[in-house]
Amino acid sequence: MYEIGVIGAGSWGTAISWLLSNNGHKITVWSAIKDEIEMLKAQREHKDKLPGVALGDNIDFTSDLSEACRDKEILVLAVPSPFTRSTAGGMKGLVKEGQIIVSVAKGIEEDTLLTLSGVIKDELPGAEVVVLSGPSHAEEVGKGMPTAIVAGCKDIEKAKKVQDIFMSDVFRVYTSDDPYGMELGGALKNVIALAAGIADGLGYGDNTKAALITRGIHEISLLGEAAGGRYETFQGLTGIGDLIVTCASMHSRNRRAGILIGQGKSYEEAMSEVKQVVEGVYSAKAAMKLAGKYGVQLPIISQVNDILFGGKSAKEALYDLMSRERKDEFL
């Protein structure tokens, strides 16, 4: 049994807390929102973000970051990507040298082009960061639906430790020593999922979705390999696996936001209606900056940026995507 702090009480942080408590660990969940913590203490269920998932007696809740961090063998950082740096910065002085921090959010910081493990290391250089990523909607994990995911770290023994802690008969964990590739796949698929949702919002069907998923993983792989990830990582659970689930499911906030954008709403209006952080919006510009850095062409991601930030209509973007010059599929 491990003492584990879960930093972030959104849907994913709550689902992870449920999973780890069922595995027999003692969990302390932190949120900066005091009303959220009081609701969790009183109801032992996140009525807003993960209704129907009962949280056991071995889970404590706190708005005191020190209480959630101190003397914990494992910390899980589960805040949305825009808040990763500020939250990690607030943990300075609360974590010991060599502290294992499991990063479960997905994104690329626009200004620095760091993945979230890089952001955490920038703020907490003494920490050991393990990336946990893959096709894993909180709504399904919280119901005990079979899920497979990957724990990644350059130090494979750290990844194996996280594998052991999270593994259960409904939650299968693989290991990888390519955490950077895993993170690129996890961040970039959110941008492709926006495109898939936009196509749905325009009323298009399965042919369009299949094309976007297939050409999307091609773009992710091209940029990911150029940036230093491994090809096989993008063909696995944290690449094509995560892309499929995010493009196809209504659990996906990126797809749902994309649908609204395809129907004519701005990304601000879409995020307001979804009522959750839409990670793909924050990763889209960073993806194009990375593409410029490594000299990679990303037609789908480029058109998503034009829709989000350039005032381009979704129909015009799709026309431009479809009418590009002829080429071989694999060139």
Cβ within 8 Å of residue 142, ≥6 positions away: 11, 14, 15, 18, 19, 50, 52, 53
User: How far, in Å, CA of 2 to CA of 65, rounded?
Assistant: 18
User: How far, in Å, CA of 317 to CA of 299, rounded?
Assistant: 10
Q: Which two tokens stand for residue 78?
A: 């589960």
Cβ within 8 Å of residue 98, ≥6 positions away: 126, 127, 128
- Catalytic status, residue 189: yes
Q: Give me the catalytic one of 189, 275, 285, 293.
A: 189
C-beta neighbour count of 204 within 10 angstroms: 16
- The amino acid occupying position 64 is D
List the Cα angle 78/118/2 in 5-degree steps.
45
Q: How many Cα atoms are found within 13 Å in the side-chain-facing hemisphere of 44? A: 10
Residues annotated catalytic, as ranges: 189
